[in-house]
A and B are shown apart, each in its own frame.
Chain A
Amino acid sequence: MVKDQVFLEKKASYCLDLAKKLGATEASVIVSNSISETVNFRNKKLDESNRSDNLSIDITTYVGKKKSSISSSNLLNENLNILLEKCIETTKNTPEDEFNSLPDRDLLAKEVKDLNLYDDTNLKNDHKIDYLKKLEASAAFNKKIINTESSFTQNKSNFILANSEGFCDGYKTSSFTASSVTVAKDENSMERDYEYSSKCHLEDLEDAEKLGKLAADQTIRKLSPKKIGSEKISIIFDKRIAKGMLSAFASAISSSAISRGTSFLKDKINQKIFADSINVFDKPDILKGLGSRSFDNEGVKTDTLKLVDNGILKNYLIDTYNGKKLSLKSNGRCGGASNLYFENGRMGYKDLLNSSSKSLYITETIGHGSNIVTGDYSVGATGFLVENGEFKYPINEITIAGNFKDMFQNITLANDLDFKYSTNSPTMMIEGMVVAGK
């Protein structure tokens, strides 16, 4: 069982009291416990079981405008005593920074909404094994699949965030995650692909057989890939890749990148950065949402933000420190976006595939090719050649490149949004990118 609220609160208030006694003018603390149990299968047999029990405490102390922090996994009071003394000592020796402070009191969350993020079900390992047996049988059904690896994880977490302004709150969350990675082989190549499902509540998890079949189908269709020539071409991003554009966007509008001047979207507020039809939301209060939260990592209340309105940038993601630096109020985004998504486009998925006579459908990218400072984007990719709406053959060993500034202006979205991840996009088409191949 994860540690209860009473235990976590006791540790938190012990630390806050001690910090004050040792000379801190302000302090904040996060105490958390997370227990996860994983079972892995490989080729229809049990391969690994893993139980992990993680305790952690993170304390930030302030002496005036000086700040320092410590973290530890050892929650015994005698260890906390030593660490806090060290922390206060370090704080006093760290130079002042005028923007250091706890969040403004009036921005702190007053009430914690119940977002239904916790499922009490405790699934025994034998039941995880039953799920994985079904999943693997389905994944390995086709003879071309030569290796299957599947995994089931149950995670239960609890935390308390407290600060010297009197904020003290926290809540339990849970997640159930199943995944399947399959390898397929034919006379020309060996390919790998995957599928997974992650939910707060067990009852919402994808059916085992369906998950296994999806993984296998997505792998087999990649066999015998070709390399294409270098050219300018329309690129369609599968939903699992399209969400990456939103992640890059979120890092570029984080208040730290903006205040440091290291973002290609600096000074772009109220300017058109996306195509006219594009709207982007960050909605923290979706029931059972994978990115849902009642307050941010500093205890600041979080409201839904319309980040992009008809192509125009309306908000940054702001925390307390960088907000003060930019003379803006925190909008409860310390720790980043919550449930971030593009609103649906107008076109059906099939119509999007049909909209150019020849396009490239990307299902996987590799490499860390997003440069938030310049907006340059260049990654390795695998996918399929699409002609007149039909998948013709698999493609690999190519790169796709462009610059976010242009790419964002050339996005067309389908109307097939769902909430599989915490960051979600409908299927996306971008025109005018460059493919490098042969």
Chain B
Amino acid sequence: MTNFFEKSDLSRNEAENIISDTLQKCDDGELYLENSKSESILLDDNKIKNSSYSSDLGFGFRAISGEIVAYSHSNEISKDSLKQSSENLKSTLKSVKGNYNHEIPKSNKKYYDNINPIEQKSLNEKIKILNDVNKYIRSKNNNVKQVTANFLGEQKSIEIIRSGGESLSDIRPLIRFNVSVMLEKNGRKETGVYGIGGRQSYDSYLKEDNWKNVCDEALRIASVNLESKPAPAGEMKVVLGPGWPAILIHEAVGHGLEGDFNRKKTSAFHNLMGQKVASEGVTIVDDGTIDNRRGSLTIDDEGTPTEKTVLIENGILKNFMQDRLNARLMNTRSTGSGRRENYRHIVLPRMRNTMMLSGKQTQDEMIKAVDKGIFAVSFGGGQVDITSGKFVFNCTEAYEIINGKIGSPIKGATLIGDGPSILKEVSMVGNDMMLDPGIGTCGKAGQGVPVGVAQPSILINKMTVGGTKL
């Protein structure tokens, strides 16, 4: 645990007094303290291109009255700095008369260990693996023109101090290992990217030369793309593979079910609670409680223990994801979804690990049911306009399906759909639910947070594929 007051002229006791004094007539608020350490080691173009280390320390002070949020943050944990922040908050909330909500649920469950992954493996060991990755990939295929591999590791310690002095804390490890390969053949270049990660030590992911599997996968995707032909353009059936393609769920419905957009009635889902928004058999949960997953949290950034929140049950919309502010204003409870990128940012309701649960069909049955369409196995990023409900994502590995059979690979194309209606177009749900490999970062209002996704194979009756072949 970081002692945030150890090297400061500000004592814990004084901080508690300033917090309680500032928040006394507010509805909610807290002091959030954060100390994070992170490293990045990058191999590129046959060389260790970059090794960097970063340490970040700061606080964010938040006061809420009614719907109004006042926030102030600084890098300096000192008496002057906290008092200055307190003055900023008070000057925004000039005449408040709220009732501070002291209630915050408790849980003893933890979903990851108190480790610092950076310290658990020496720099030389990490550099050796990156060099081995480079040699391994280049030895496997003569068309390799570029290999990029990197390690990202971090440990984030947080403490939340609420009015009255209640303190909640968490230590969050996170690592990621990523490999990117570019192949060139007959003047044509294509890339393949793959990565793994989560809230454990590097070795938990790399043991028994598991890094070779990551290299093989990146190489395989690049090789497939080298043979790809132009993607079709227009509406057609789409089969999505299991695992990472669930970013479709994340974009298409996840964001639209976040509490803030629904309180403000700017989400296409705001008036659909209790109604049928998906085909029967479609159940979607957002779960912060899976051990060691990238999107898991022991407590969220307001101190609320995370949970498994059922969003859509058998096609019916059941819950939104809530932080404390939006929960209070919508007369419900926080689902432990209040998150922020770091102390520089305010809390927003966010996703954790968003998952569509397994159904009964097999992927084979889905492919056989398609006369003309595409089979999408892996995606790059996605994006959604939550108001119109339109969302996109980019295929990084996809194939055409002709008369129930998988055909040639096709070039990366954007798929576009309509969030509120897409889940009604799901006509088969597979029995092969899979978690993604631990690589997702979700962006909202300029803040990136680590998330996970999962889904089985699914068949969507109608989506627009943005290729170039008419």
Please report the C-alpha to C-alpha distance between residue A435 and residue B344 in the assembled complex, in whole angstroms: 41
Q: Which residue of B lies closest to A38 (CB)?
A: B71
CB distance from A299 to the nearest CB of B (A): 19
Indicate whether A87 reaches chain B with its CB closer than 8 angstroms: yes
By a CB distance below 8 angstroms, the chain A residues around B56 are 72-74
Chain B: interface size category: 35 or more
- Known: A73-B56, A192-B387. Is A367-B7 also a contact (CB below 8 A)? no
Indicate whether A357 reaches chain B with its CB closer than 8 angstroms: no
B233 contacts A434, C-beta separation under 8 Å? yes
Please report the C-alpha to C-alpha distance between residue A28 and residue B385 in the assembled complex, in whole angstroms: 42
Please report the C-alpha to C-alpha distance between residue A378 and residue B414 in the assembled complex, in whole angstroms: 6
- Known: A367-B382, A380-B383. Is A436-B234 also a contact (CB below 8 A)? yes
Contact among A55, A70, A125, A436 with B233 in the assembled complex (CB-CB below 8 Å): A436
Which stretch (A19-27, A88-96, A240-248, A300-308) binds chain B?
A88-96
Indicate whether A189 reaches chain B with its CB closer than 8 angstroms: yes
How many A-B contacts at CB < 8 Å in the complex? 239
A-facing mask of B389-418, CB < 8 A → 1, else 0? 011111000000000000000011111111
By a CB distance below 8 angstroms, the chain A residues around B45 are 259-260
Indicate whether B58 reaches chain A with its CB closer than 8 angstroms: yes
CB distance from A20 to the nearest CB of B (A): 20
CB distance from B260 to the nearest CB of A (A): 10
Please report the C-alpha to C-alpha distance between residue A52 and residue B346 in the assembled complex, in whole angstroms: 11
> By the criterion of a CB under 8 Å from any partner CB, how many residues of chain A are at the interface?
77
Indicate whether B73 reaches chain A with its CB closer than 8 angstroms: yes
By a CB distance below 8 angstroms, the chain A residues around B469 are 434
Contact among B7, B188, B464 with A436 in the assembled complex (CB-CB below 8 Å): B464
Contact among A79, A90, A147, A396 with B264 in the assembled complex (CB-CB below 8 Å): A147
CB distance from A196 to the nearest CB of B (A): 14
Please report the C-alpha to C-alpha distance between residue A190 and residue B420 in the assembled complex, in whole angstroms: 12
Which stretch (A43-51, A108-116, A172-180, A422-430) binds chain B?
A43-51
- Most interface-central of A42, A95, A225, A380 (chain B CB within 10 A): A380
- Known: A368-B381, A371-B412, A378-B413. Is A398-B88 also a contact (CB below 8 A)? no
Indicate whether B67 reaches chain A with its CB closer than 8 angstroms: yes
Indicate whether A232 reaches chain B with its CB closer than 8 angstroms: yes
Which stretch (A158-166, A399-407, A413-421) binds chain B?
A399-407
Indicate whether A191 reaches chain B with its CB closer than 8 angstroms: yes
A71 contacts B52, C-beta separation under 8 Å? yes
B383 contacts A438, C-beta separation under 8 Å? no
CB distance from B202 to the nearest CB of A (A): 16
B68 contacts A73, C-beta separation under 8 Å? no
The A contact surface, by secondary structure, is: strand
CB distance from B419 to the nearest CB of A (A): 11
Indicate whether A18 reaches chain B with its CB closer than 8 angstroms: no
Please report the C-alpha to C-alpha distance between residue A54 and residue B57 in the assembled complex, in whole angstroms: 11
A117-175, CB < 8 A from B? 125, 146-147, 149
CB distance from A367 to the nearest CB of B (A): 4
B75 contacts A401, C-beta separation under 8 Å? no
B73 contacts A398, C-beta separation under 8 Å? no
B235 contacts A438, C-beta separation under 8 Å? yes
Indicate whether B467 reaches chain A with its CB closer than 8 angstroms: yes
Indicate whether A231 reaches chain B with its CB closer than 8 angstroms: yes
CB distance from A257 to the nearest CB of B (A): 11
Indicate whether A53 reaches chain B with its CB closer than 8 angstroms: yes
CB distance from B39 to the nearest CB of A (A): 9
By a CB distance below 8 angstroms, the chain A residues around B413 are 378, 399, 401
B52 contacts A378, C-beta separation under 8 Å? no
B85 contacts A368, C-beta separation under 8 Å? no
CB distance from A207 to the nearest CB of B (A): 25
Please report the C-alpha to C-alpha distance between residue A47 and residue B416 in the assembled complex, in whole angstroms: 33
By a CB distance below 8 angstroms, the chain B residues around A380 are 383, 390-392, 414, 416, 466
By a CB distance below 8 angstroms, the chain B residues around A438 are 234-235, 464
Contact among A147, A231, A260, A397 with B418 in the assembled complex (CB-CB below 8 Å): A397
Smallest CB-CB A-B distances: 5 pairs: A399-B466, A380-B392, A436-B233, A367-B392, A192-B387
Having A51-B85, A93-B127, A262-B182, one finds 18 other A-B pairs with CB under 8 Å, namely A42-B67, A48-B70, A49-B92, A50-B346, A55-B76, A56-B75, A94-B123, A95-B127, A189-B388, A192-B385, A230-B470, A259-B45, A364-B385, A367-B383, A367-B394, A376-B412, A397-B418, A402-B468
Cross-chain pairs A/B with CB under 8 angstroms, 9 sampled: A48-B346, A55-B75, A259-B45, A366-B385, A368-B394, A369-B414, A382-B390, A398-B416, A401-B466
